[in-house]
Amino acid sequence: MSQANQELHELAKKEYEHGFVTDIESDTLPPGLDEDTVRAISARKKEPQWMLDWRLEAFAKWQEMTPPKWPYLDLPEIDFQSISYYSAPKKPEDGPKSLDEVDPKLIETYNKLGIPLEEQKLLAGVTEATDVAVDAVFDSVSVKTTYSERLAEDGIIFCSLSEAIHDHPDLIKQYMASVVPVTDNFFAALNCAVFTDGSFVYIPKGVRCPMELSTYFRINAQNTGQFERTLIIAEEGSYVSYLEGCTAPQRDENQLHAAVVELVAMKDAEIKYSTVQNWYPGDETGKGGIYNFVTKRAECRGDNSKVSWTQVETGSAITWKYPSCVLKGDNSTGEFYSVALSSLSQQADTGTKMIHLGKNTSSTIVAKGVSAMKGQNAYRGLVHIGKSADGARNYTQCDSLLLGDTCGAHTFPYMEVKNPTAQVEHEATTSKIGDDQLFYCQQRGISEEDAVSMIVNGFCKEVFKELPMEFAVEAQKLLSVSLEGAVG
Amino acid sequence: MLEIKDLHVSVDGNEILKGINLSVGTGEVHAIMGPNGSGKSTLSYILSGKDGYDVTAGSVTYEGKDLLEMETDERACEGIFLAFQYPVEIPGVNNTYFLKAAVNAKRKYQGLEELDAMGFMKLMKEKMPIVEMKQDLLTRSVNVGFSGGEKKRNEIFQMAVLEPKLALLDETDSGLDIDALRIVANGVNSLRNEERSMVVVTHYQRLLDYIEPDFVHVLSDGKIIKSGDKSLALELEDKGYSWLDKSA
Ligand SMILES: Nc1ncnc2c1ncn2[C@@H]1O[C@H](COP(=O)(O)OP(=O)(O)OP(=O)(O)O)[C@@H](O)[C@H]1O
Ligand SMILES: [Mg+2]
């Protein structure tokens, strides 16, 4: 797919030769959640006592909490006792032997997305491909993150969170849950108790990370909750761009996905976090999709720091996600660029929170929602300007595009301005893909399907241009494929 | 090339075209004039395949095929081009990108190899002088923020690039200033040839000064009430439509 991924493949191959994958036992915990589950997860991961204690404390707190009620979602009752909380990768011999054994519909989508054959095998879990493990969170156990050697030359740490717990306990103790506290919300607390793995990134002072760091996530065992945690720390004057996600659709039974992502930017540091997310959305009735509850938050801890979230969301049956920035440092900047697509019976409730605490902090929000078929899209944004945030500025632009009459778009902007010197600007538009626009394109010979994807991509352009180049190309393709059959 | 027989068209149950008969031969230029609301745009929409119009009677044959059976994009690929009275804005879609998609859709349909970026740029360079197209308009989103005249010029530029067999020009002259009218009309004229037919909808003789029609038709209340040669347009300019109503 890309040069970076090719590198990954090669590196990953090497890891395999070193026998890394072989020491992972393939096992899945039986469904259910109690203290013993938490102990079992920690034990399987051979965690130190302090980590287990931390998990148990979080679990105790979670038991006293209830799921949020306010999102604009039709939330099914989730039975937390019916979910299995730990699953190691299936053994290679359990997977399909070749692509011929994989659901042809899935292959068709891979082909439309232009995913190379080798990568298709990997994504579909085909046996012969297991020697090409991309830096993937394979079910719950993170296959060793790659690049590491090269990055280590700059003092950069890029590894799985499990490894970081063993190798860098001081950093973990110092930073984990320092941005998203354990009791922040129901799903975050649950994650603290049962998180399985994720990524850890540490960029030392003054270092500009020489490549985009990327991770593929996947879920492939049935009825397995996926609880990832990611922690990125950018020390003074450093820079990193991190890519999360995968354009290939992930098919599965209804699955709970409750991730936590924490970013810390110190003085003059910059973190760019891009996500292209395409969990399996379920069928037309919403059956079979993934429930995606994610807590993503960044803290601009130092002066002049900057965090930029860019996301393209097309998957999941239900998405509940608000990447946020806490702007503590003076002159710090938070950005949020988002495209959320809800088609079929998908429900998305996404947005951001910009919390201005430092002086002259500024934030930009550009949220684009596309709804088709029976999709429901809600934007929920909070701009909070604290008492001390003299000269804070926010610009919010929130645009919705509707395809057809059966879908919906809703916006819920919240503003809390406690400082009179703040400047807050909000613009919102809702438009329908006009029959006139479609006719105009078709009159020029462009097919209806191509016309729709052209118009939608045009609508999302301001966000796509924030994505790293090749990710942007993939995102566009993904949007087109996701919209197929959505009109007409 | 185009044969319209007793065409009746309704929108939401209201009959708008009430029995149109029109025959356009290869290489011919027909002008259609007529009062506001008489159905001129409706005719161009029904020929190009816009949704929402019901054909209640009659037929349209294009190059021997039943035109009304064809999809909108198929008609375009078969060589029908409509220069819109009100060109449509498409935010975020680059004008050049749009035109390249259109050219390649057509080429694909014709079984030709699609043009790459270089090949397409060459084609653009070749066509730009025809309507003195400004580079700047090509890099902006399709019609977004274009002035009325710029939109019309863009339509004819697209026509030059897409090289249709049958061009329908709906009030291409309206919104153009005097210089632009000359440039665009001369552009259209230079695209005139023995294989290309045109149906030119206009209210004014000024356009027909540049694009001399072979035939002029007057459409009134959904019917062609008079046809003639180019002198009919001059007569109309002089006397107005009421003259025809009385004589009809
Ligand atoms: N979608 C529609 N619904 C209802 N009436 C319509 C619709 N489209 C067109 N009409 C009516 O049909 C008639 C013909 O319209 P049309 O646009 O074809 O006229 P025209 O001859 O092009 O006029 P002009 O010279 O002003 O451009 C008008 O009375 C118009 O109001
Ligand atoms: Mg008209």
pLDDT, tens digit, for every residue of B56-71?
999 999 999 999 999 9
Residue A217 pLDDT greater than 50, yes or no: no
Strands B14-24 and B2-11: antiparallel
Q: Which atom of ligand 1 is nearest to the CA of B52?
A: 1
Residue A4: enclosing H or E segment and its boundaries?
helix A3-17
| Res. A247 pLDDT band, cuts 50 70 90 | low
Task: Give the model's pLDDT for residue A351.
Answer: 87
Beta bridge partners of A308: A272, A335
Locate A415 and state its tokens.
């503003």
Q: How confident is the model at residue A250 (pLDDT cuts 50, 70, 90)?
A: low
CA nearest to A413, candidates A399, A426, A431: A426
> CA of B90 to nearest chain A CA: how many angstroms apart?
7
Model pLDDT, residue B243: 75
Q: Is the Cβ pair A446, B102 closer than 8 Å? A: yes
Cβ of residue B135 lying under 6 Å from some atom of ligand 1: no
User: How far is B25 from B80, CA to CA, in rounded Å?
Assistant: 14
Question: Cβ distance A397 to A381 under 8 Å?
Answer: no
Say what the pLDDT of residue A202 is.
Answer: 96
Is residue A176 pLDDT above 80, yes or no? Answer: yes
Give mean pLDDT, residues B222-241: 87
Residue closest by Cα to atom 16 of ligand 1:
B39
* 3-state SS class at A210: coil
Q: Cβ contact (<8 Å) for A443 and B76?
A: yes
Give residue A21's pLDDT. 28
Binning chain B into helix, strand and coil, the percentages to the nearest 5 are 40, 30, 30
Query: Could you tell me what percentage of chain A is helix, strand and coil, using 3-state DSSP and rounding each to the nearest 5?
Result: 30, 35, 40
A223 backbone dihedrals φ, ψ, rounded to 5°: 55, 35
pLDDT of residue A187 exceeding 70, the answer is yes
Whether residue B139 lies within 8 A of chain A, CB to CB, comes out as no
Residue B12: count of CB within 10 angstroms of its CB: 8
| Residue tagged 């924490």 (tokens) | A262
A146 pLDDT more than 50: no
Burial of A166 (0-12, 13-18, 19+ CB in 10 A): middle
Which chain B residue's Cα is nearest to A462?
A: B92
Confidence of residue A117 (pLDDT cuts 50, 70, 90): low
CA distances from A249 to A9, A106, A258, A348, A408 (A): 20, 8, 18, 17, 23
DSSP letter, residue A80: G
Whether residue A8 is predicted with pLDDT greater than 60 in this model: the reply is no
Between the alpha carbon of residue A422 and those of residues A357, A366, A392, the distances in Å are 11, 19, 5
- Helices (H), strands (E): how many in chain A? 13, 20
Mean pLDDT for chain A? 78
The overall average pLDDT reported for chain B is: 92
Strand, coil or helix: what is B151? helix
Gap from CA of B73 to ligand 1 centroid (Å): 23
Tell me the torsion sign for CA atoms B171, B172, B175, B180.
Answer: negative
Q: pLDDT at position A9, please?
A: 41
Q: For A21-61, give the DSSP string.
A: GGG----BPPS--SHHHHHHHHHHTT--HHHHHHHHHHHHH
Band of residue A126 on the pLDDT scale cut at 50, 70, 90: low
Instruction: Judge contact between A237 and A206, C-beta under 8 A.
Output: yes
Percent of chain A with pLDDT over 90: 40
Q: Does A414 touch chain B (CB under 8 A)?
A: no
Phi and psi torsions of A306, nearest 5°: -145, 135
Determine whether the shortest distance from the Cβ of B36 to ligand 1 is under 6 A. yes
In angstroms, what is the C-alpha Rg of chain A? 22
pTM above 0.95, yes or no: no
Q: How confident is the model at residue B107 (pLDDT cuts 50, 70, 90)?
A: very high
Q: pLDDT grade, residue A116 (50/70/90)?
A: low
Burial A265-287 (b: 16+ CB within 10 A, else e): bbbbbbbbbbbbbbbbbbeeebe
pLDDT attached to residue A330: 98
pLDDT at residue number A220 = 36
> For position A112, what pLDDT does the model report?
62
pLDDT confidence band for B96 (50 / 70 / 90): very high
Q: Answer whether B75 contacts ligand 1 (Cβ < 6 A).
A: no
Mean pLDDT calculated for residue range B29-44 = 94
Nearest in space to A457 (alpha carbons), one of B97, B236, B129: B97
Q: Which tokens belong to A412? A: 């819920």
Distances (CA, A) of A418 to A299, A301, A355, A358: 20, 20, 11, 13
d(CA B248, CA B244): 6
pLDDT of residue A256: 78
The per-residue pLDDT for B165 is: 96
pLDDT of A96: 60
CA geometry: angle at B58 spanning B55 and B63, to 5°?
100
Q: What is the mean pLDDT of residues A385-393?
A: 96
Q: Which two tokens stand for residue A396?
A: 């919010």
Best residue among B36, B50, B223 to mutate for probing ligand 1, ranked by most atoms within 8 Å of CB: B36
Q: What is the band of A182 on the pLDDT scale with cuts at 50, 70, 90?
A: very high
The DSSP call for residue B146 is: -
**Which of these ranges, A271-285, A332-346, A455-469, has the smallest mean pLDDT?**
A271-285
Four-CA torsion B50, B53, B59, B61, nearest 10 degrees: 0
- In tens, the pLDDT along A16-56 reads 232 222 233 346 778 888 999 999 999 988 999 999 999 99
Phi, psi of A125 (to 5 degrees): 75, 30
The answer to whether A461 contacts chain B (CB < 8 Å) is yes
Q: Which residue has the higher pLDDT, A370 or A60?
A: A60
Residue B228 structure tokens = 């003639």
Q: Which of B211 and A286 is assigned the larger pLDDT?
A: B211
Sheet with B54-62: strands ordered across? B14-24, B2-11, B54-62, B65-66
The rounded Å distance from CA B44 to ligand 1 centre is: 11
User: pLDDT at position A131, please?
Assistant: 33
Provide the residue type at A252 as one letter: D
Q: Where are the domains of chain B?
A: 2-247
Confidence of residue A284 (pLDDT cuts 50, 70, 90): low
Distance A143 CA to ligand 2 centre (A): 65
- Report the b/e string of B209-224 with b at 16+ CB within 10 A: ebbebebbbbbbebbb
- In the predicted structure, residue A142 carries a pLDDT above the cut 90: no
Torsion of CA B129, B24, B44, B201, to 10 degrees: 60
E-assigned strands of A102-196?
Answer: 136-138, 141-142, 157-160
Q: Is the pLDDT of residue B242 over 60?
A: yes
pLDDT of the residue at A348: 72
Over 70: is that where the pLDDT of A479 sits? Answer: yes
Query: Are residues B101 and A443, on separate chains, in Cβ contact within 8 Å?
Result: no
List the structure tokens of A270.
């910059």
Least confident of A124-138, A171-185, B169-183, B219-233: A124-138
Residue B158 contacts A where some CB pair is shorter than 8 Å: yes
Residue A92 CB burial class (10 angstroms; 0-12, 13-18, ≥19): middle
Q: How far apart are CA B139 and CA B162, in angstroms?
A: 18
Distance of CA A187 to the CA centre of its chain: 15
What gap in Å lies between CA A336 and CA A273, rounded to an integer?
Answer: 10
What sign results for the dihedral spanned by CA atoms A183, A276, A278, A350?
positive
Q: Percent of chain B scored above 70 by pLDDT? A: 98
Nearest residue of chain B to residue A437 (CA atoms): B88
Q: Which CATH superfamily is domain B2-247 in?
A: P-loop containing nucleotide triphosphate hydrolases (3.40.50.300)
pLDDT (0 to 100) of residue A281? 59
User: Which of B21, B7, B1 minimizes the C-alpha distance to B226?
Assistant: B21
> Do the Cβ atoms of B175 and B149 come closer than 8 Å?
yes
Token pair 């997310």 is found at A277
**Is residue B53 scored above 60 in pLDDT?**
yes
ipTM of this predicted complex? 0.96
Q: What pLDDT digit, counting tens, does each position of A306-321 carry?
A: 999 999 887 666 777 8
Q: Which residue has the higher pLDDT, A107 or B209?
A: B209
Over the stretch B166-190, which tens digit does the pLDDT of each residue have? Answer: 999 999 998 899 899 999 999 999 9
Q: Residue B40 Cα, ligand 2 centroid: separation in angstroms?
A: 5
pLDDT in tens, A43-98: 988 999 999 999 999 999 999 998 877 556 666 677 888 877 876 544 444 556 66
The average pLDDT across A390-417 equals 88
Contact criterion met (CB below 8 Å) for A451 and A438: yes
pLDDT category, B202, cuts 50, 70, 90? Answer: very high
Q: Is the pLDDT of residue A144 over 50?
A: no
> Which amino acid makes up residue B215?
F
